[in-house]
Amino acid sequence: MKLLMLHCDYFSFATTQPTKFAEQVGEECKSCGIKDTLVIFTTVERKDERDPKAVVECAVHEINTTTKRLGVRKLIVYPFVHLSAEAGSPQAAKHIIDTLYQQLQSAGYEVKKAPFGWEKVFSLTSKGHPLSESFKTIEV
């Protein structure tokens, strides 16, 4: 799994059109805007399919470490297949990303998730401090 984490003053997204892998979502989930958030662009890789539970546990640990350093409690999990040339299957990716989202909610974060399988536009304003950008590769 690849995680590109950006600490943002503001982040927003809006769906434009579904792909053949698009999950069903209500109108209230098709767009979102949030202030002072950590955006987690997330790519699931083929190798993550071997042990999804361990991958999610390691990702949650990395996210917890980052949020503690930043003092952030608001998160956006943003499916973003473009971080790897070894992307996992859409079914596995959706399952792993949904599990990550649920684990972060259970940990007490205020979490939003961009819809899986949709074309989207996004806009962001990053914080620009030394810890505002990080990239993690999760390997188990």
Is residue 23 situated within a structural domain?
yes
**Distance of alpha carbon 12 from its chain centroid, rounded?**
13
pTM of the model: 0.95
Is residue 27 situated within a structural domain?
yes
Number of domains in the chain: 1
pLDDT at site 87: 95
Is residue 138 situated within a structural domain?
no
Each residue's pLDDT tens digit, 46-100: 999 999 999 999 999 999 999 999 999 999 999 999 999 999 999 999 999 999 9
Q: 103 — phi, psi (to 5°)?
A: -65, -40
Is residue 41 situated within a structural domain?
yes
Query: What CA–CA distance (Å, rounded) separates 23 from 8?
Result: 26
Q: 102 — phi, psi (to 5°)?
A: -65, -40
* Segments forming the whole domain that contains residue 73: 2-129
30 is written with which tokens? 């098709």
